[in-house]
């Protein structure tokens, strides 16, 4: 991929702030009452400026990715409608993580709250701080299963439909903890 195409894609993404965008956010926590961390974060997502939460998945328990010497995670996905640009949304999500006292001690380590932009409309964005679609979402059952619960007809740009990808991913370690509201 040429650098010019990346610049063109990210430049066009930043000029569409006045339109409503459909965004999917992955949520995860495995510290300090993870279920409550996610319930609080879901409410806080609805309070972001120029943003409205449309739907949220059930809460799922999953094994950690990477180091196994940490508690299991609780994961969910939320669908938002927003006027924020991708970078404005990223900044807002990182501020929420900080308000939950997130500390980044090691890669794939334990955390009070992790918020990832999974999809932003059907855009492909490659910037130093942000890659959309999320680089690993197509390999993670704890992302795909809650995402399919919200919208089984979604597709990941350049990867295929959620339902097709999900049919090739192991999800037997996932347990529903709390049904979506």
- What pLDDT, on a 0 to 100 scale, did the predictor assign at position 125? 96
Which of 9, 50, 55, 102 is labelled catalytic?
A: 102
What pLDDT was estimated at residue 1? 40
Provide the CA 163 distance to its chain's centre, in angstroms. 17
The pTM of the full predicted model, rounded to 2 decimals, is 0.87
50's tokens: 């120029």
- pLDDT in single tens digits along all 181 residues of the chain: 434 333 334 434 444 445 699 999 999 999 999 999 999 999 999 999 999 999 999 999 999 987 777 899 999 999 999 999 999 999 999 999 999 886 666 666 688 999 999 999 999 999 999 999 999 999 999 999 999 999 999 999 999 999 999 999 989 999 999 998 6
CB-CB contact of 109 with 118 (8 Å): no
Structure tokens at 87: 């970078």
pLDDT of residue 105: 67
Q: What is the pLDDT of residue 76?
A: 98
- Number of separate helices (H) and strands (E) present in the chain: 5, 10
Annotation says 104 is catalytic: no
50 is catalytic: no
Could you confirm whether domain 3-178 is CATH 3.30.70.2860? no
User: Is 91 among the residues known to form the active site?
Assistant: no
pLDDT at 59: 98
Q: Where are the domains of the chain?
A: 3-178
The rounded distance, in Å, linking the Cα atoms of 55 and 47 is 14
The span from the CA of 118 to the CA of 26, in Å, is 6
- Write down the catalytic residue from 111, 129, 140, 172: 111
Residue 116 known to be catalytic: yes
pLDDT at 104: 63
């Amino acid at each position: 991929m040429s650098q010019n195409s990346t610049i063109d894609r990210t430049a066009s993404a930043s000029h569409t702030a006045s339109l409503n965008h459909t965004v999917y956010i992955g949520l995860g926590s495995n510290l300090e009452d993870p279920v409550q961390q996610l319930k609080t974060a879901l409410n806080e997502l609805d309070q972001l400026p120029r943003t409205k939460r449309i739907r949220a998945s059930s809460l799922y328990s999953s094994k950690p990715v990477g180091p196994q010497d940490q508690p299991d995670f609780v994961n969910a996905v939320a669908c938002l409608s927003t006027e924020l640009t991708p970078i404005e949304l990223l900044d807002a999500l990182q501020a929420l993580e900080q308000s939950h006292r997130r500390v980044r001690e090691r890669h794939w380590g334990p955390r009070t709250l992790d918020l990832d932009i999974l999809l932003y409309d059907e855009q492909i964005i490659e910037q130093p701080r942000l890659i959309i679609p999320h680089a690993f979402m197509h390999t993670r059952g704890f992302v795909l299963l809650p995402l399919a619960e919200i919208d089984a007809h979604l597709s990941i740009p350049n990867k295929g439909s959620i339902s097709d990808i999900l049919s090739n991913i192991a999800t037997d370690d996932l347990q529903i903890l709390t049904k979506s509201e």
